[in-house]
A and B are shown apart, each in its own frame.
Chain A
Amino acid sequence: MLKELDPLLHSQLRLGVMSLLISVDSAEFTWLKEKTNSTAGNLSVQLDKLSEAGYISIEKSFKGKKPLTTCRISKKGLKAFEEYVNSLKDYIKT
C-alpha cells in the first residue's frame, strides 16, 4: 500500500522552500521569496507552518538597521523531505 504523502510538504510553495533549503546552508527570506516567486505574506505564513512542525528553524536578526529573517532546514525537516521523496518514488513506480 502506498504511504500517504506528508501533507505539510505536499504543497507547492512549502515543497519549493524545502527543496531550496536542502540545497543551501541557510537562506534569507528575500532570497526564498525571489526564488519561489511568491508574495511576502504567503511565504511568511508557509514558513511559520514549516517552523511549527520543526522542519525548519527561523532566525530573526538585523542586517545593519534592516530586520533579517534567515531560514535553515532542521534534521527533522531533512528526514521528512527524504521520506517525502521516497514516497513520491513509490507513487511514480506504480
Chain B
Amino acid sequence: MSIDKETLTPEQSLDVITSMIRQAKGNMQQGSFYFLLWGWTIVVANLGVYVLIKFTTVENPFLMFLITIVAAIISIVYGIRQGNRIAAPTHLDGIYKWVWIGFGITCFIFWFFGKQIGWQITPVIITMCAVPTFISGSLLKFKPLMFGGVAFWISGALIFLTSFENQFLLAAIAVTLGYLIPGYMLKKSN
C-alpha cells in the first residue's frame, strides 16, 4: 500500500478498506497450550483419584485435585506473557479469554460449594466444560474442538448415571476426548 496519495476515488477507498480488513482477518491466534496443560492436569488428577479410591485406603484421595492450583498458576503466568506478545488482539480474542476466565470462576464456585450439590462436582463440571470448548471451536473455526464440546455434553450426562468412584475414570476419558485429542490436533494444525 502506498501512503503518499491523499486523493482517493470511492473505488480506491473501498480497496483500502477491504485490503486492510483482510490484513487484520485471521489475526486471532490461539494455541493448544491451555488445552494440553489442563487436559493432562485433569486427566492425571482424575485417574489419580480413581486409582487411590479403588486400590488404596488413602484417607483423602481428593487432594490429587490440588495439582489444578499449579495449572492455574502456570495459566496465569503464561496468559500474562502471551497477552504482552499479541500486537493487535481482536474482539474475538477478548471473548475467547473471558469465556474461559468465566468458566474458571464458575468451576471454582462449584468446587467450593460441592457439598451443597451432593458432591456431584465431576458431572457438573464436565458438562459445563462443553460450553467454552464448543464456543472456542466455533471462534477458531476448528471442528475437532466443537466435537470435543459435544463429547463433554455426552460424557457429562453419562457421568451423572455412573457410580461415584467410576465418575473419575469417565471424567479422565471425557477430558481426553474433549481437550487432549482436539488440543494435539490444534497443535499440529498450527
Q: Which residues of A contact B (CB under 8 A)?
A: 5, 10-13, 15-16, 19-20, 22-28, 30-32, 35-39, 42, 63, 84-85, 88, 91-92
B3:A23 contact, CB within 8 angstroms: no
The reply on B13 being an interface residue by CB < 8 A is: yes
A25:B91 contact, CB within 8 angstroms: yes
Q: Which of B2, B17, B87 contacts A30 (CB 8 A)?
A: B87
A19:B89 contact, CB within 8 angstroms: no
Segment at the A interface, from B21-29, B101-109, B141-149, B164-172: B21-29
B90:A12 contact, CB within 8 angstroms: no
A23:B1 contact, CB within 8 angstroms: no
A63:B84 contact, CB within 8 angstroms: yes
A16:B89 contact, CB within 8 angstroms: no
Residues of B58-95 at the interface with A, using a CB-CB cut-off of 8 Å, are 84, 87-91, 93-94
Interface band, chain B? 20 to 34
Q: Which of A31, A37, A39, A42 contacts B88 (CB 8 A)?
A: A31
A15:B87 contact, CB within 8 angstroms: no
Q: Which of B4, B5, B17, B27 contacts A19 (CB 8 A)?
A: B17
B88:A16 contact, CB within 8 angstroms: no
Q: List 25 A-B contacts (CB under 8 A).
A: A12-B2, A12-B3, A12-B4, A15-B17, A16-B16, A20-B23, A20-B24, A23-B27, A24-B89, A24-B90, A24-B91, A26-B88, A26-B89, A27-B88, A35-B20, A36-B20, A37-B3, A63-B84, A84-B13, A85-B17, A88-B10, A88-B13, A91-B10, A92-B10, A92-B11
Report chain A residues within 8 Å CB of B90. Answer: 23-25
Q: Which of A15, A26, A39 contacts B8 (CB 8 A)?
A: A15
Q: CB-defined interface of B139-163 with A at 8 Å, one 1/0 digit per residue?
A: 0000000000000000000000000
Q: Which residues of B contact A (CB under 8 A)?
A: 1-8, 10-14, 16-17, 20-21, 23-25, 27, 84, 87-91, 93-94
A84 to B90, CA, bound (A): 22
B3:A38 contact, CB within 8 angstroms: yes
A35 to B84, CA, bound (A): 19
B24:A36 contact, CB within 8 angstroms: no
B20:A23 contact, CB within 8 angstroms: yes
Q: In the complex, how many angstroms separate the beta carbon of A43 from the nearest chain B beta carbon?
A: 8
Q: Which residue of A lies closest to B85 (CB)?
A: A63
Report chain B residues within 8 Å CB of A88. Answer: 10, 13-14
Report chain A residues within 8 Å CB of B89. Answer: 24-26
Report chain A residues within 8 Å CB of B21. Answer: 19-20, 22-23
Report chain B residues within 8 Å CB of A5. Answer: 10, 13
Please provide the 8 A-B residue pairs with the shortest distance between their CB atoms, ordered closest to farther.
A23-B24, A19-B20, A31-B87, A27-B88, A91-B10, A28-B87, A24-B88, A19-B17
